[in-house]
Amino acid sequence: MGPEPDVLRLQRALRDLVALSSVPAAWVGREPPAIASGLADVLVNTLYLDFAFVRLSGPGGGAAVEIARGSAWRAFPEWRQQYFAAHGRLSRTEVVADIRGGAQGGCGIVIPVGIDGESGLVAAACDRAGFPTETDQLLLSVAANHAATAFRMADLVHNHRSAEEALRESERQLRKARDELEMRVAERTIELQRSEAYLAAAQRLSHTGSFGWDASSGKLSWSEETFRILECDRDDQPTVEFILQRTHPYDRARVQKTIDLATQGKKHLDFEHRLLMPDGRIKNIHIVGHPVFDESGEFFEFVGTAMDVTERRRAEEERQALAHANRVATMGQLTASIAHEVKQPIAATVVNAQAALRWLGAQPPELEEVRQALERVAGDGLRASEVIDRIRALVEKAPPRKEALALNEVICEVIVLLHGEVVKHGIAVQTQLAEGLPRIQGDRVQLQQVILNLILNAIEAMRGVGEGARELRVSTVKADAGGVLVAVRDTGPGLDPVKLERLFEAFYTTKPGGLGMGLSICRSIVEAHGGQLWADVNTPQGAVLQFVVPRGAPEVQPEQPPPLVATTAGPVGG
């Protein structure tokens, strides 16, 4: 007699359970596709089910894996598809009776894998009578639980790996970013060093140092060039006291006052002063500084430049001395005609005074005649003294002074002065002076000197031509950008068009007793006024020398130190 059917069932169930219990070990460390096919194989090969279908979610929420085993019936896949189309995620075990319908029989069971089917599901079908029995359901859920555990393990491993990978990736990114940053810092450092070197070179070349003065700490900082200009040790702490100590005693009080005013009033700073070096040398320094405010309008520092203008000042002084020497020499040449210019009103004074005496001696005295004669005496006296004043201004060595000038007036004054010279050489003078010209900023004496030189050159050039053809024309017109253009034309031999620029070279002369400095000095004077001077061929004959001076707003001149030694000069030969 065989064993009882219940005992047989129990034996089979135990055998299946034992078989199932060995499965998880095989799944450890496996990926979901291996787990899913392992589970489907167990269901079909170990539990002898006709059909098994396993779906496991992708690790980390990725694409799901689907495995089907057994192909006994066609109805199962169709059912599966319909079933899944109608149901979403499976949260509990469901038994589906009579999948194939009719007499063929066959039941299906769907079991969630993991809590609420989070890891997937298992579907199985079998046409064994009574399927799924309680034991079948138990075995299937054990299998599904094993799969769920393996899946969770796989998921954990996956997540762990992803986390590790992400960590490695972020480490890699971090390293890359750090490397890039280091490279950028190195590049910027090189750039910065280069631009600092350029700046230092530029400061050295332009003799311009820079400085900063921190308002809160009162700390002063200087660039390399500032140290060099002040000729002090690089290790010395910059101080205002040191600057004042280096400042020429004559300028000290003025500098102290200027600095105090600018720092207290947080004002722009622009002044020039002299330094007295320990070995007695004098340096001219031009300081420009301005206050810097933060966004809230709070003053926080003073920055500026200190420029060594010693050379420039020296060159200017030399140019002025040269221009002065040229004026004195020119006036020397003109002594004869100037003497005539002065003698003429004096002679007229004598004549008129004698006439007045005669009218007074008449019986009765002709008082009206006397009055008229004395008026002429006074007029001539004034005329003579004006000529002398102008000559004196031209030979005096006064510091340059810019003022608003009407160029037409300046021209007329020179023409009056040259009246004798013009008459002496039988020259017809014509002026075409435009009306309503803007005033220009300039030094009267220097501009008179330019016009004087141009007219004298024209007079000299016309010496060689026949007397009737000697014509001098001086004209002014409004130039572009509000300046004034002055032209001096003559009917002399004219100029060689290819040598026009040579005329302005120092010491270029074609005259036996010439110095060749006149036009070169004229050009430097005009350029110091921001203008230009050039020569051209006149039509139909002769030369034309013209210059343009811009209208120019009054220049902001730095406050200049007064000369150390007052210069005095009297009229030439006087």
The site for ligand ADP (CB under 6 A) is made up of 453, 457-458, 461, 490, 492, 495, 503, 508-511, 514-520, 543
Q: Which is nearer to ligand ADP, 276 or 506 (CB)?
A: 506
Query: Smaller CB distance to ligand ADP: residue 121 or 488?
Result: 488
Please tell me whether residue 477 adopts helix, strand or coil conformation.
strand
What is the C-alpha to C-alpha distance for residues 147 and 421, in angstroms, rounded to an integer? Answer: 127
Closest CA relative to residue 489, chosen from 523, 459, 446: 459
The 3-state DSSP class for residue 67 equals strand
Shortest distance, position 548 Cβ to ligand ADP, whole Å? 18
Q: How far is the CB of 421 from ligand ADP (least distance, A)?
A: 14
Q: How many helices (H) and strands (E) does the chain have?
A: 14, 17
Nearer to ligand ADP, 438 or 516 (CB): 516
CB of 230 or CB of 519, closer to ligand ADP: 519
Smallest gap from residue 536 Cβ to ligand ADP (A): 10
- Residue 306 CB, shortest distance to ligand ADP, in Å, is 38
The SS3 call for residue 289 is strand
Shortest distance (Å) from residue 323 CB to ligand ADP:
13
Nearest residue to ligand ADP by CB is 518
CB 208 within 8 A of CB 306: yes
Q: Six-digit token pair at 23?
A: 């499965």
Query: Do the Cβ atoms of 52 and 40 come closer than 8 Å?
Result: yes
State the distance between the two ends of the chain, measured CA to CA, in whole angstroms. Answer: 167
Nearer to ligand ADP, 122 or 517 (CB): 517
Q: Which is nearer to ligand ADP, 208 or 476 (CB)?
A: 476
Tell me the backbone φ, ψ of residue 107, rounded to 5 degrees: -115, 155
Min CB(473)–ligand ADP separation in Å: 12
CB 289 within 8 A of CB 211: yes
> In degrees, to the nearest 5, what angle opens at C-alpha 92 toward C-alphas 89 and 98?
95
In whole angstroms, give the CA distance from residue 356 to residue 47.
161
Q: Which is nearer to ligand ADP, 25 or 498 (CB)?
A: 498
Q: Which residues pair with 109 in a beta bridge?
A: 95, 124
Distances (CA, A) of 127 to 20, 40, 44, 204, 394: 21, 17, 13, 103, 135
Q: How far is the CB of 331 from ligand ADP (least distance, A)?
A: 15
Tokens encoding 256: 């102290």
As measured in angstroms, the least distance from the Cβ of 470 to ligand ADP is 12
**Closer residue to ligand ADP in complex, CB, 279/507:** 507
CB of 545 to ligand ADP, least distance (A): 6
Smallest distance from ligand ADP to CB 452, Å: 11
Task: Count the Cβ atoms, other than its own, within 10 Å of residue 56.
Answer: 29
Whether the CB-CB separation of 245 and 251 falls below 8 Å is answered with: no
Q: Compare residues 170 and 510 and give the one whose CB is closer to ligand ADP.
A: 510
> CB-based contacts of 169: which residues, under 8 Å, 6+ apart?
none
What single DSSP character describes residue 42? I
Of residues 72 and 500, the one with the C-beta less far from ligand ADP: 500
